[in-house]
C-alpha cells in the first residue's frame, strides 16, 4: 500500500533528531545539515506498524555487512514457509541526501532475487527512508516522490518505540 509522507508535529519534533521544524509547526526531514549515519541509526529490530500488536509478530533485525555493501533483514519467523528462508538480503547501491528530494536519511538497495518488476520490466529498487530514529518507510524508485509503504517501527522487546496508528501521517 502506497502512502504519502506527512509528519505529525508532536512525534516528529520529539523524536526526529535530523528534522527541522517548519513555520507551520510540521517537521521536515533533515536536509543533510545534521549528518546522521543512516547505516548506524537504522540498525536494530523493527516491525510493521500494527497498532497494539506492533513488535509482537514477525519482527526483523536490520544489519549491514562490514563494508556496508549488503543490508540484511533477518526475520524471527520464515518469510517462505516452503524453504524456511528468514533473511532478505539487499545490495546497497547508494545512500544519503541526494537520492530523494528533501530527504537526508535514505539507503537505496536492490533485493537479491527480486521478482517484482517496474512497468518497464526492470527489477524493483527500494529506498529505506529513515524518517525518525524509530520509524522508517519503504519507497520504490518507480513510485512518485512522497509515496511510501506503511511505517516500520523500532522495537524494544515487544514495546514499540514510536506510536503509530492507521491513518496517521498518510
Q: What is the pLDDT of residues 20-36, one digit of tens each?
A: 333 333 334 444 434 56
Residue 159: per-residue pLDDT: 93
Give yes or no for residue 120 having a pLDDT over 50: yes
* pLDDT digits 0-9 by tens, 131-163: 999 999 999 999 998 899 999 999 999 999 998
Assess contact for 36 and 17: CB atoms under 8 A. Answer: yes
First-last CA distance in the chain: 11
- Cα 100 to Cα 129: distance, rounded to the nearest angstrom: 9
pTM score, two decimals?
0.76
- pLDDT grade, residue 168 (50/70/90)? low
Query: Rounded to whole angstroms, how far apart are CA atoms 99 and 106?
Result: 7
What per-residue confidence (pLDDT) applies to 17?
Answer: 35
Place 169 in a pLDDT band, splitting at 50, 70 and 90. Answer: low
**CA gyration radius for the chain?**
16
Amino acid at each position: 500500500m502506497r502512502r504519502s509522507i506527512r509528519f505529525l508535529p508532536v512525534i516528529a519534533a520529539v523524536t526526529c533528531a535530523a528534522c527541522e521544524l517548519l513555520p507551520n509547526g510540521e517537521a521536515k526531514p533533515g536536509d543533510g545539515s545534521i549528518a546522521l549515519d543512516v547505516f548506524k541509526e537504522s540498525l536494530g529490530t523493527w516491525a510493521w506498524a500494527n497498532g497494539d500488536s506492533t513488535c509482537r509478530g514477525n519482527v526483523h533485525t536490520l544489519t549491514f555487512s562490514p563494508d556496508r555493501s549488503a543490508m540484511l533483514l533477518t526475520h524471527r519467523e520464515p518469510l517462505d514457509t516452503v524453504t524456511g528462508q528468514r533473511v532478505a538480503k539487499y545490495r546497497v547501491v547508494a545512500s544519503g541526501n541526494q537520492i530523494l528530494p528533501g530527504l537526508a536519511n535514505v539507503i537505496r538497495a536492490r533485493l537479491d532475487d527480486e521478482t517484482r518488476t517496474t512497468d518497464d520490466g526492470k527489477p524493483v529498487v527500494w529506498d529505506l527512508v529513515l524518517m525518525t530514529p524509530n520509524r522508517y518507510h519503504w519507497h520504490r524508485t518507480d513510485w512518485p516522490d512522497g509515496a511510501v509503504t506503511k511505517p516500520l517501527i523500532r522495537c524494544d522487546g515487544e514495546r514499540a518505540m514510536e506510536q503509530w496508528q492507521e491513518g496517521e501521517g498518510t
